[in-house]
Structure 1
Amino acid sequence: MVATLEPQAKIGKAAIGALGALALALGTLQAVVEPSLPMLQHDLGIGPAAGSLIFITLLITGAVVAPIAGKLGDRYGGKRVLVVLMTAVSAGGLLSSVAPNLPVLLLGQVLQGAMVGALPLSFILVRKHLPPGRTQVAVGVVSGLFTGGGLVGMLSAGPIAEHLSRHWMFAIPTIAIIAATLTVARLMPDDPPAESDARIDWLGVILLSCTLVGLVLGFTAVTGGGLPPLASAGVIVVVAALATGWVLVERRAASPMVDLRMLAMPAVWSAGVVTLLMSLGLGMAVYLVPQLLSAPASAYGFGADPSEIGVFLVPATVAGVVAGTVAGIAARRFGPRAVVTAGAAATAAALIALGPLHDATWQLVAARALIGFAVSVSAVALLAGTATAVDAKDTGIATSLLVVTRVIGVAIGAQTAGAILDAGTDPATGLPAESSFTTGFVTAGLIAAASLLAVRAMKKGTQS
């Protein structure tokens, strides 16, 4: 009997360490906005609705980059595409660090959104250059360091902004990204592009980008109340036309960015609806909690500065990390549907409870951690359930649909929360009314609760 030898490793620990350092720096840069968002709004002189744009702009770029990053890496080489994307991220981070106003900061966030492609491209590289056994270890290291970077960003954003300035909050992790990218470019060997006749759906990419940008900017303009009814109707028509054009292009493309035919499968469309509704609730909570923590203690808030907000949000970040492991075990033992049902119910209950119960910081911290854990567990279970419900060849398409849906849901949820606070802001004080937070939390809870109806449809579709 002849033993099968594993392929020889083409890269060493130093190259894996460089990818890990890059993931750590990217996770840090991605996480600095959430705890410092109230401070950014104050420094830039903007309201809640405009402030939510800072949070969601990166997500919009990520929603576009996520489905095509792997395709680009396979077509042109993972290392080459990774370096190009990190150049865009570095430019965005530096632009954000010197931004004097909201438009420049938003442009920086748009460029930073290219970081979403870093993980799939890193996985392509380790898969090509390492034997299977070591590939799994390297993937775990890179993923773990990206998550760890989120903790670093959450805790470091406040102290850096307070003792240096908000500009260094973006500059320091960006400098680390530049250094790590140069190290990866030096240590990582070139990977040959895969031979493929599949073309990149650039028209679909452009139309989806325009649709998402139009949706967000249009939502901001319409809910801000500054547009006459005719102009608001025009915005709706333009966004609808862009979305319709994107759907038509995707249905006819030989190699679509997102294969919309997958949505006809009950297991996929029901999982997509659940993902969208729960992500909407999460996005609203992610935006509302820091705003309430930073509100003056003389009113109804807690007067927390960015450093304190970062500490308050750490349990939620840790809960999201733990959820990944728990979800896999729970889905295997109880089934994806049971896990998603429990997660949706817990998310809805926590959000609705925050409506009347937000008088102490521990209530906000505990609820935000529970929401983060429940949504993350549900997301992993939905991905696992969808991956096993479709043909093996369609796994990547189906799961990428859920990833894009989640990003869009979080973005729209944050924008919705910002609009609710903006509508309830007192012009004299510049503060939203406390009732606006109650309305926001309860609305988010009801949206998350509606996902339970889609879970039932998911069961029926799977059985049929």
Structure 2
Amino acid sequence: MQTLVVPLIAELPRLLHTTTSNASWVITATLLAGAVATPVMGRLGDMFGKRRILFCSLGLLIIGSLVCAFTSDLVPMVIGRTLQGGAMGVIPLGISIMRDEVPAERMGSAMALMSSSLGVGSALGMPAAAYVAEHTNWHALFMGSAGLAAIALLLAALFVPESPVRTPGRFDVVGAVGLSAGLVCLLLGISKGSDWGWGSGTTLGLFAASVVILVAWGAVELRMEQPLVDLRTTARRQVLLTNLAAITVGFAMYAMSLVLPQLLQLPKATGYGLGQSMVVAGLCVVPGGIVMIFLSPVSAKISAARGPKVSLMLGSVVIAIGYALGLGLVHAVWQTLIVSAVIGGGIALAYAAMPALIMGAVPPSETAAANGLNTLMRSIGTSTASAVIGVVLSHMTQPLGGVPLPSMNGFRTSFVIAGAACVVALLIAAFLPGRGARTPATAVGATAVDATDAEPAVPAPAASVAAVSGGPVPSGAGFHGLVRGADGEPVGRATLTLVSPDGRQLGRASSRPDGSYALDAPAGGSYVLIAAADGHQPQACTVMAAAAPVMYDITLPYATGPSGLQVRGTVRAGEGRRPLADARLTLVDATGNVVRTTTTDPDGGYAFTDLTAGEYSLIASGYPPVATALALEGRGTDGFDMALAHPAAE
């Protein structure tokens, strides 16, 4: 979608029967819609199900593509391109689903490739779009994008399970409107500034409005109990610096897409243009996309061995080297292939490292929103590149037949600016937290627990927890972080319980007065982490342990009322939601103790009765398990149904 209409830019005014300025809205509309949709779709995915919102994003892409395929007028085209922009949320949603579903040993390479697909799609999409635009009716471009989106939707429906990880609460409508307004003002000023004039009242007014709106939005978000974007999490050094680096790397990526195709298509009469067709120019950026595909797993291995910080820094260096080569290696088509491949390799290394950095600093319940914000930062980088490089090439020209064309000095200046952006990314990445030294795992942290053992495992001893950076950290596999209330204040003496997918208690710990905690895991793998504290609703989430400690912060909403005495419901499974017999259920009280277990009857029904007052967490075994916090009132709760995407019994 980013490069779909690039080959048509020069022809859009004629094809849509409009002016050049109006035709530019075909590109701007997708940019603005994507910027708004990315964080919003991420938050909705965290709340209502990532797979469900993934379907919505792909549905918008299909509808938008069909609208564009059957019109030659400006307004419907802009509407269709706006709907297509809604699909930008697919990337952060996909990364977040992977965190919840993919086994730990495959997670790094899977997320790296998904993250790099932002660059891969741009590189591979341009020659395909150029070929279609040059040899068929231009409407076929949008029929093709509708078909690809339909295939993606079908495959997602068949093979992508729904994640059980949820962020309870209401959607922050005020936050969504405020963020959308601020981003629209900012990106509209960046993308249209060259048309309206950078010093015009409209452009400066938009920039001023964006500052005012975003500052006010931030103040409101800090006061919200369940904000669209958790600014406290975003302000953490690792998240903040990664997002800043995303802007600069996004700038560097898009600069290549803007400069190389123009240089390749300029006539040879200029003395430096290579006189290639639109299709050949598109094919010359394909090596960058291919290199991204093959280097993404390499980036994951570097991140696993040396840390994602090293991968991000290495990627920034490689991109800068690519632009340095571009200062001299642009006199033949084969030379541009080398430049494209080197820059593409650097982008793969850098982009692949970003999800690992983000998800190492945010809880699983916020991964889609956090990755959505990171994707948004990349979009801001590409938008800024479009504006800056456009200004450079439009002002540094030389005439040919009375027509001003970008000069070679203009292209070289663009390379220098893009290379400087990589240097900035390198400096930002240098201040990211490095991989901390780990002490050898103790026997408790390294020994697997027998899941068939009838008795709960003994919690890890205090000696196996090291005090690092002001808070406890497990010595091996496990989890650490902060327990906060809905107001952001630390919650001390909260009980944290680690439960296996089949409901066995594996370990317990209590948070310190400052809210910090550490909890050892028997080994890497999937677990359910339950947190409970007096005056707060318990929370239960599926978490993935790795060889190194995983940071996981927990927010406990305040309790809303008294509990009841019983809970009944039905467990269903699969897409058909059929009742599931013999499903194992575990009930955990507010202090983290496993108080009751049961299995469902032949009709999928279950019941827990004679319960004491209190709040509970209910865990249903499956792959992945489903953990739900519940509060019982009056006589109890009937119809508390649960759905498993992949039951353990199947």
Distance in 2 (CA, whole Å) between partners of 1:386 and 1:184 is 24
After superposition, residues 41-80 of structure 1 pair within 5 angstroms as 57-73=29-45, 75-76=47-48
Which has the higher relative contact order, 1 or 2, with Cα contacts under 8 A spaced 6 or more apart?
1
Whether the 8 Å contact between 2:68 and 2:76 is mirrored in structure 1 is yes
Q: Aligned to 1:333, which of 305, 312, 320?
A: 305
Contact 2:179 2:214 in 1 (8 A): yes
Match of 1:429 in 2: 403
Q: 1:246: Cα distance to partner?
A: 2.7
Q: 1:329 to 1:34 in 2, by over 3 A?
A: farther
Measure, in 2, the Cα distance between the counterparts of 1:101 and 1:170. Answer: 14
Aligned-residue offset at 1:181: 4.7
Paired residue for 1:261? 232
Which whole-Å deviations, capped at 9, do the CAs of 1:374-414 have from their partners, x for residues lacking one?
A: 12212222332343355666655554433322222122222
Q: From the two aligned structures, give the one with the greater strand fraction.
A: 2
Q: Which moved more, 1:317-326 or 1:337-346?
A: 337-346
- CA, structure 1 residues 165+287, in 2 after alignment: closer, same or farther (shift >3 Å)? same
Give 1:18's aligned residue: none
Native 8 Å contact 1:280 1:412 kept in 2: yes
Partner in structure 2 of residue 242 of structure 1:
213
Once the two structures are superposed, the pairs formed by residues 259-338 of structure 1 within 5 Å of their partners are 259-299=230-270, 300-338=272-310
Q: Report the Cα offset of residue 317 of structure 1.
A: 0.9
Q: Deviations over 1:39-81 (max 9, x none)?
A: 658866877x988765565344333323333543465556654
Residue 383 of structure 2 is aligned with which of 404, 411, 425? 411
Give the TM-score taking structure 1 as reference length: 0.76
Give the 3-state SS of the residue equivalent to 1:298 in structure 2: helix
Residue matched to 1:208: 179
Q: Cα distance, 1:122 vs. partner?
A: 6.7
Aligned residue among 131, 145, 148 for 1:173: 145
Distance change (3 Å), C-alpha of 1:118 and 1:244: same
Q: Report the AA paired with residue 436 of structure 1.
A: G
Q: 1:219 aligned to 181, 187, 190, which one?
A: 190
Q: Does 1:252 align with 2:223?
A: yes
Structure 1 position 184, deviation (Å): 7.1
Could you tell me how far apart the structure 2 residues matched to 1:90 and 1:349 are? 39
Provide Cα deviations, 1:65-98, integer angstroms capped at 9, x if missing partner.
Answer: 2333354346555665444433322232133335
Decide which of 86, 89, 95 is 1:114's aligned counterpart.
Answer: 86
Which of 347, 371, 374 is the aligned partner of 1:375? Answer: 347
What residue ranges of structure 2 are gaps of 5+ in the alignment? 438-468, 470-650
CA contact (8 A) 2:28 2:191 kept: no
Of 428, 445, 450, which aligns to 2:424? 450
Contact 1:352–1:446 (CA<8 Å) still a contact in 2?
A: no
Deviation of 1:38 after TM superposition, in Å, equals 5.4
Stretches of structure 1 that go unaligned for 5 or more consecutive residues are 1-28
Secondary structure at the aligned position of 2:403 is classed as coil
Q: CA deviation at 1:439?
A: 1.8
Per-residue Cα deviation, 1:113-167 (whole angstroms, up to 9, x for no partner): 2223346667889999x9979x98xx89x969x7887676444322221221222
Q: Rate the CA distance shift 1:84–1:368 in 2: closer, same or farther, 3 A.
A: same
Whichever residue aligns with residue 435 of structure 1, its letter is N
Q: 1:156 to 1:269 in 2, by over 3 A?
A: closer
Q: What amino acid maps onto 1:170 in structure 2?
A: F
User: Which segment drifts farther, 425-434 or 251-260?
Assistant: 425-434
8 Å CA contact retained: 2:92, 2:368: no
Q: Which amino acid aligns with 1:421?
A: L
Cα distance in 2, alignment partners of residues 126 and 263 from structure 1: 21
| 2:393–2:410 Cα contact (<8 Å) kept | yes
Q: 1:286 to 1:41 in 2, by over 3 A?
A: farther
CA contact (8 A) 2:245 2:425 kept: yes
Gap change, CA 1:95 and 1:455, over 3 Å in 2: same
Structure 1 vs Structure 2: percent identity of aligned residues? Answer: 27
> Is the alpha carbon distance of 1:223 and 1:159 closer, same or farther for their aligned partners in structure 2, counting shifts above 3 Å?
closer
> Higher mean Cα deviation, 352-361 or 393-402?
393-402
Structure 1 Cα separation of the partners of residues 241 and 159 of structure 2: 41
Structure 2 CA distance for partners of 1:416 and 1:54, relative to 1, 3 Å: farther
Q: Aligned-pair RMSD on alpha carbons?
A: 4.2
Larger helix proportion of the pair: 1
The AA in structure 2 aligned to 1:429 is V
Using the alignment, how far apart are the partners of 1:262 and 1:125 within structure 2?
20
Distance change >3 Å, CA 127–CA 317, structure 1 → 2? closer
Measured after TM superposition, the shift of residue 441 of structure 1 is 1.6
Is the partner of 1:304 in helix, strand or coil? coil
Q: Is the 8 A contact 1:74 1:193 kept in 2?
A: no
Q: 2:263 and 2:80 mapped to 1: Cα distance?
A: 26
TM-score in terms of structure 2 length: 0.56
Distance in structure 1 (CA, Å) of the matches to 2:436 and 2:375:
20
- 2:43 touches 2:368 (CA, 8 Å); kept in 1? no
Structure 1 residue aligned with 2:5: 33
Q: CA deviation at 1:319?
A: 1.4
Closer, same or farther: CA 339–405 of 1 in aligned 2, 3 Å: same
Distance in 2 separating the partners of 1:368 and 1:461 = 31
